[in-house]
Amino acid sequence: MELYQSTIHELHDKIKEGKTTATEITKAVLQRIDTVEGKVHSYIRVMKDEALAAAAATDKEITKGNIKLLSGIPIALKDIVCTKGITTTCGSYILHNFVPPYDATVVEKLRAAGAIFVGKANMDEFAMGSSTETSYFGPTRNPWDLECIPGGSSGGSAAAVAADECVASIGSDTGGSIRQPAALCGIVGMKPTYGRVSRFGLIAFASSLDQIGPFTKDVEDCAIMMNVLAGYDPKESTSVNVEVPDYRQFVGRDIKGWKVGIPKEYFVEGIDPEVKAAIEEAIKTMEKCGAKSVEISLPHTQYCLAVYYIIAPAEASSNLARYDGVKYGFRAPAAELLDMYKKTRMQGFGAEVKRRIMIGTYALSAGYYDAYYKKASQVRALIKRDFEEAFKKCDVILTPTTPTPAFKIGEKTDNPLQMYLSDIFTISANLAGIPGISVLCGFTKIGLPVGAQFLAGHFQEGKLIQVASVFEKEAQSEKRRPKL
């Protein structure tokens, strides 16, 4: 096995045993990027010089016996988290020249744990999309089929892990933007509980929904990444001061006697037959592990998509008001100030971002606020209550991550409503603020990955790692790699 194909825990052991170095690992990953990046386009920016310098410094620390949790591990960062002195674009022309003066908290934590940053990953513009096709810098392609999308908005982060262009990566999840691309790229992706991981330095899309989380090659690596990322941050107003366990202790624990909830509302007309078959097999796998499947109901599921596409655009229209050409980023030349505002936003934002700003501004307008945003917020509370009631009857919930496998690039770009349906099974977790994880549960006949999603109660990421690791081991999904 090549170094770039290894997991975090495998590389950590090799470094401890003196079988490899941070520099050797980093060079192997950078060589892999040179080989396949032209096909996949996972990155907006590859940080070759910075990565090699960091690896050399890490090796010096290792020789002194200072081996940290992520020492020498090449990590990709979604280009929505601020990196001091390095451009952070959000996949948008309006920020193509923005250089942050500070690091996001997650960047500080990863660096303190010894991580080597190899690049800023491609993404849908301002995280608005489900396919990584709205990026100003061009689409990312799915490593399993280069004609297909990798999912979104964190498609670059997911594709980089699947293509072995990094060992793990960071994404953000507003309505499924970690779990959905993880499923479509055949890897592990976790959205933590809202407030579990600091959002300080995450450029906001929808502030009450956004959450940062990891992409990894297996569940144990997910636990390692969560050990680094999770925790209270006084700099971030929505960060929750709740004790963080050692997530690795949950890996491989028994789940005998657990009740796995199967929500009847998630097996709807329109779900791809191969996805449905894979999830039905996943339910059988859970029963082989000693768990019992129980049917549950989440009655307000039918409203999730409508609620999300009022709340998220409304918050986006507020958050994106700051991009006016005055403070930072792109500025369009104009004779008058108002003209400059208009031209900057017209030229700087892409079509999907403009669409969501207009939807959000309309929903927040004086005559429609009560009918749209206020009503959506009330239904959101009911959705959250559905989950609270469901978790009284089961330990975790199992659903499909996506209704279909990866679709062709360009297939849905002219039909925004069809694109929005890609997130139909993931949105509810963001509205309720609960954690979710997607793991590989099989492949379609033509070799595209299918993901299973597990959901748990607030701050129960340990439960998710426990059930996902047992599932991963028992399912033993065929060990395939993309043929790049």
The tens digit of pLDDT for each residue in 36-79 reads 999 999 999 999 999 999 999 999 999 999 999 999 999 999 99
**215 and 329 share a domain?**
no
Structure tokens at 8: 């975090």
DSSP 311: H
- Torsion angles phi and psi, residue 119, rounded to 5: 170, 170
- In the residue annotation, 239 being an active-site residue is answered as no
Unique residue bearing structure tokens 């449905």? 276
342 in a structural domain: yes
Other beta carbons less than 10 A from residue 280's beta carbon: 12
- Kindly name the residue from 153, 198, 239, 438 that is annotated as catalytic: 153
**59 and 192 share a domain?**
yes
Structure tokens at 41: 């386009």
208 in a structural domain: yes
**84 and 153 share a domain?**
yes
**CA–CA separation, 191 vs 482, rounded Å?**
24
Domain termination site, one of 223, 250, 277: 250
**56 and 127 share a domain?**
yes
**367 and 228 share a domain?**
no
Domain termination site, one of 211, 233, 250: 250
Global pTM value = 0.97
For 290-329, what is each residue's pLDDT tens digit? 999 999 999 999 999 999 999 999 999 999 999 999 989 9
Other beta carbons less than 10 A from residue 477's beta carbon: 19
User: For residue 191, what are the β-bridge partners?
Assistant: 436
**CA–CA separation, 51 vs 44, rounded Å?**
15
- Torsion angles phi and psi, residue 240, rounded to 5: -105, 130
**CA–CA separation, 429 vs 176, rounded Å?**
8
**226 and 334 share a domain?**
no
Give CA 232 to chain center in angstroms.
20
Angle at 47 between CA 23 and CA 480, to 5 degrees: 70
* 455 within 8 A of 432, measured Cβ to Cβ: no
**The dihedral sign for the CA sequence 389, 402, 159, 119:** negative
Task: Give kind and range of the element (H or E) at residue 230.
Answer: none
Structure tokens at 468: 């996902």
Side-chain-side CA neighbours of 89 within 13 Å: the count stands at 23
**CA–CA separation, 403 vs 275, rounded Å?**
7
**193 and 52 share a domain?**
yes
**56 and 141 share a domain?**
yes
Domain termination site, one of 207, 225, 250: 250
463 in a structural domain: no
**79 and 190 share a domain?**
yes
CATH number of the domain residue 220 falls in:
3.90.1300.10
Helix, strand and coil content of the chain, in percent to the nearest 5, comes to 45, 15, 40
Four-point Cα dihedral 41, 45, 50, 51, nearest 10: -20
**25 and 114 share a domain?**
yes
For 323-328, the CB contacts below 8 A with 24+ separation are: 323/94, 323/95, 323/348, 323/349, 328/95, 328/98
Structure tokens at 379: 């239904």
296 in a structural domain: no
* 44 within 8 A of 156, measured Cβ to Cβ: yes
- Kindly name the residue from 78, 109, 120, 191 that is annotated as catalytic: 78
271 in a structural domain: no
420 in a structural domain: no
Q: Helix (H, G, I), strand (E, B), or coil: what is residue 105?
A: helix
State the residue range of the domain holding 47: 3-250
**CA–CA separation, 67 vs 72, rounded Å?**
9
- Kindly name the residue from 71, 92, 154, 177 that is annotated as catalytic: 177
**161 and 88 share a domain?**
yes
**60 and 141 share a domain?**
yes
Cis status, amide bond into 153, omega within 30 of 0: yes
414 in a structural domain: no
482 in a structural domain: no
How many domains does the chain divide into? 2
Structure tokens at 236: 């971030």
E runs forming strands in 43-156: 43-46, 74-78, 116-121
Q: Extract the residue ranges of the chain whose pLDDT is less than 70.
A: 477-478
Structure tokens at 129: 């999309």
Residues listed for the chain: 484
Task: Tell me what pLDDT residue 478 has.
Answer: 67
Task: Tell me what pLDDT residue 269 has.
Answer: 79
- In the residue annotation, 177 being an active-site residue is answered as yes
Side-chain-side CA neighbours of 484 within 13 Å: the count stands at 23
